[in-house]
Amino acid sequence: MNATFGGLSGVHWALLGAALAVIGGGSGSSMGITYIANVAGGILTDMPDLFGPLLPLVVIPGTQGIYGFITGVLVAFVMKPSSGWEALPGWVGFQIFFACLPVAFVCCISAIYQGLTSVGAAPMVAKRREEMGRALVLPALVETYAVLSLIVTIIYLFVVIRPLYTSLGI
């Protein structure tokens, strides 16, 4: 067993980072969806024909949960060293942990605010159904930062960390 870092082995640090990404993205998405679903439910009681146009506004905060899940899968299946998890040094696992933090934090926060932005856009659709495209642009702008956090995490994992430990023969 390789040396630990901060009392945790490499696999423990890596899985902690993956878990935080999944938890952050998933919890933020569930909160964001709850905000807009409550408003959409109120609109749908009077105008049930708006279910289709409102659905994208309800669904869009859920994408950050998907980004967290993608990060967790990348760490669990793709970042595994060729010689096995037990060979991963603590300091490398710690780097994987830090690589997961952009998704963990940004996706949690952006999903919540995307839900709130969708809440603000829902009345546009309720008043003028043809404004759905414009209404969707507003929460989509918040999505930009979640996508950027996923890109940063992927770059850290595959451009910085993976070549480092594969060059060490791990």
What pLDDT digit, counting tens, does each position of 94-131 carry?
Answer: 999 999 999 999 999 999 999 999 999 999 999 998 88
Instruction: Give me the pLDDT at residue 100, please.
Output: 97
| Environment class of 30 (CB within 10 Å of its CB; exposed 0-12, middle 13-18, buried 19+) | middle
- The answer to whether residue 129 sits within a structural domain is yes
Pick from 71, 124, 121, 125: which is nearest to 98 by CA? 71
Instruction: Give me the pLDDT at residue 169, please.
Output: 74
DSSP secondary structure code for residue 89 in this structure: -
- The answer to whether residue 155 sits within a structural domain is yes
For residue 95, what is the enclosing H or E element?
helix 90-127
**Total structural domains within the chain:** 1
Q: What is the pTM of this model?
A: 0.90
- The answer to whether residue 156 sits within a structural domain is yes
DSSP secondary structure code for residue 87 in this structure: G
